[in-house]
Structure 1
């Protein structure tokens, strides 16, 4: 692991890291799974964390043994329907949905002149950041529409460093999903995993929840 003093930037996932929008994603996917006749489980919901919309749909169809039942056009239609459900649910979002400690952490990064970018697979990220009043901190965002590969491929985190004009080893990636941690590690960045340390055991640094994520605690973990 690199030294803390070498770090110049932070690359963030959004859902489950900055805000509790993952609950809205889960609700919208659950609604669609019910419509498709696929049994929803918490385990299936966990598999979708940090995964792109179309890849998530494929996982749901596979879970129900229906991966060959629909044309690509029909799959796009269902994925679009899920997104419409999700956007409707997002209308309830406010800055109260920022996860504990994360607003202070992001403000602290800005105050200490760290560069910040967003590496979310969600095409709705701009709407979410605006609703949370955090958009001013995330001027640099990876556009998921330009990506060829989803997490756990490193592409999104490589790009997250590139848009800050930093080397990967100068960045810390922040994630709550195993696929995201794999993506950070493969991009050669230092990984922070927020959540169950067993699930996120590949992370360089583990925090049980967002309230523990501070510059001081990261510095200690990298000492």
Structure 2
């Protein structure tokens, strides 16, 4: 069956805002008396802001009994810090190889969607100069369940009215790959084999990400 659409994650796939998320969570952790190191940050990738906060709170040296309102406050503070940092993003911050891949997909007459866990997805796309590159955008404000639940990817396919098995999802996190697979789609992972062992096709970084390579792995070529 011919593929009909690509659904891309944002952070770590189109641009690398992961460091900004890390710095923001590190500051929130410091304010709460929790050390957010690189290892903990890896477990925050690809999941929603509130779920990330819960994982940060779980790492506290002693239990913090925060109310729902207090949790909402800290999640909002994290987002404000992140928004300050992403103001610096420019089109030159697109990851290498992404422009060529998007052009090749468009020239092959396949649809393009963005499926991000970030509520700032549209803003980041605008900063990158990619707001018009996608036919549809799914962000955290449109779904009930974040990754690894498949809703993000299912939402995009349903918008287009496409069979799930004809869609290809591109992710850099284990949670994202799990979501793509759970949706019954073809999963493409960008990153280490240890973290992305469930990906149906994987490359080390975006410079190795080509339409021909993906289609060959998918079974077209």
TM-score for both structures, normalised by structure 2: 0.95
User: Do the aligned partners of 2:186 and 2:218 also contact (CA within 8 Å) in 1?
Assistant: no
- Partner of residue 172 from structure 2, selected from 173, 176, 185: 176
| Contact 1:58–1:67 (CA under 8 A) maintained in structure 2 | no
- Indicate the residue corresponding to 2:181 in structure 1: 185
| Larger relative contact order (CA 8 Å, sep ≥ 6) | 1
Partner of 1:102: 98
Deviation at 1:67, TM superposition (A): 5.6
Taking the TM superposition and a 5 Å limit, the aligned residue runs for 1:1-223 are 6-65=2-61, 68-223=64-219
Are the structure 2 counterparts of residues 203 and 110 from structure 1 closer, same or farther at C-alpha, using a change threshold of 3 Å?
same
Larger displacement relative to structure 2 (138-147 or 151-160): 138-147
Contact 1:152 1:182 (C-alpha < 8 Å) held by counterparts: yes
SS in 1 for 2:184: coil
SS state at 1:10 partner: strand
CA shift for structure 1 position 222 = 2.9
Task: Note the residue ranges of structure 1 that are not aligned, 5 or more in a row.
Answer: none
SS of structure 2 residue aligned to 1:206: strand
CA RMSD of aligned residues (A): 1.2
Which deviations, in whole Å up to 9, do the C-alpha atoms of 1:62-82 show, x marking residues without a partner?
A: 011566421000110110010
Output one character per residue of 1:21-44: Cα deviation in whole Å (capped at 9) or x when no partner: 111111111111111111122111
CA distance in 2 between partners of 1:66 and 1:147 (Å): 32
Answer whether contact 2:53 2:75 (CA < 8 A) is retained.
Answer: yes
Q: Contact (CA 8 Å) 1:194, 1:207: kept in 2 or not?
A: yes
| Bigger Cα displacement from structure 2, 185-194 vs 146-155 | 146-155
How far did 1:197 drift?
1.1
